[in-house]
């Protein structure tokens, strides 16, 4: 991505912005073995001259990017992921008709043409009051199907596209440097093509990072 492209968003008529990020606070649902996020009020007005909050949460809390370093110590850490993977044309694929595992047959119903795929499932309509161990997930065969289409980024609307803390599909993707973008909220994003803008916090040298992710409809980078 050249400087002109990275610094400019070209807007078309009727551009629409859709925030697909999850709220990150002390009620955010996290993986069952992770600690709940803490937003600690260190200073508050009027007792203090400023309002200042200490943040305490894991690198995979809320909407976040998984770096290949999560499983491979010789691969990209979260701050090393090229931004041109995290920004650009993407495709929301609506598989909300699936109640269990997304299979190849579910994906073949759609004309998948983008290198960045966001899977919209029933998870996006979950009230997220507690962790659902039976959330809609991605089968290993379907994961390989998307990999073989040549995707560079896979977005999903839960803590993971796997269940029970498994890393089988994570390994399938990370060994190919395919980036995972988890905990998206896609209820307000109809199926179709958009411009994705995803900016993970630039914490250096770690396995993942919380991110703000938005979709632009009617605009290109």
Mean pLDDT confidence for 107-111: 98
Domains and CATH numbers, the chain: 3-24+58-220 (3.50.30.50)
Structure confidence at residue 11 as a pLDDT band (50, 70, 90):
low
Q: Has residue 4 got a pLDDT over 70? A: no
Say how far apart CA 94 and CA 190 lie, in whole Å: 7
Average pLDDT, the chain: 94
Tens of pLDDT along 124-147? 999 999 999 999 999 999 999 999
Residue 7: the pLDDT is 42
Helix or strand or coil: residue 144?
helix
User: In the chain, what is the greatest distance between 2 CA atoms, to the nearest angstrom?
Assistant: 60
pTM: 0.92
Q: How many CB atoms lie within 10 A of CB 115?
A: 16
Tens of pLDDT along 70-85? 999 999 999 999 999 9
């Amino acid at each position: 991505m050249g400087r002109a492209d990275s610094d400019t968003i070209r807007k078309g008529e009727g551009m629409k912005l859709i925030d697909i990020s999850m709220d990150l606070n002390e009620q955010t649902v996290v993986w069952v073995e992770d600690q709940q996020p803490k937003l600690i009020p260190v200073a508050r007005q009027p007792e203090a001259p400023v309002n200042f909050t200490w943040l305490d949460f894991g690198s995979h809390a809320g909407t976040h990017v998984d770096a290949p370093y999560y499983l491979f110590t010789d691969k990209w850490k979260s701050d090393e992921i090229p931004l041109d993977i995290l920004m650009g044309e993407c495709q929301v694929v609506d598989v909300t008709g699936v109640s269990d595992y997304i299979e190849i047959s579910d994906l073949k119903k759609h004309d998948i043409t983008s290198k960045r795929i966001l899977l919209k499932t029933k998870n996006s309509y979950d009230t997220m009051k507690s962790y659902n161990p039976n959330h809609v997930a991605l089968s290993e065969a379907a994961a390989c199907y998307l990999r073989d289409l040549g995707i560079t980024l896979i977005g999903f609307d839960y803590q993971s596209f796997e269940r029970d803390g498994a890393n089988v599909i994570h390994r399938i993707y990370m060994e190919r440097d395919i980036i995972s973008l988890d905990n998206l909220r896609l209820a307000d994003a109809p199926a179709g093509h958009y411009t994705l803008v995803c900016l993970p916090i630039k914490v250096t040298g770690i396995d993942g990072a919380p991110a703000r992710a938005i979709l632009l409809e009617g605009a290109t980078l």
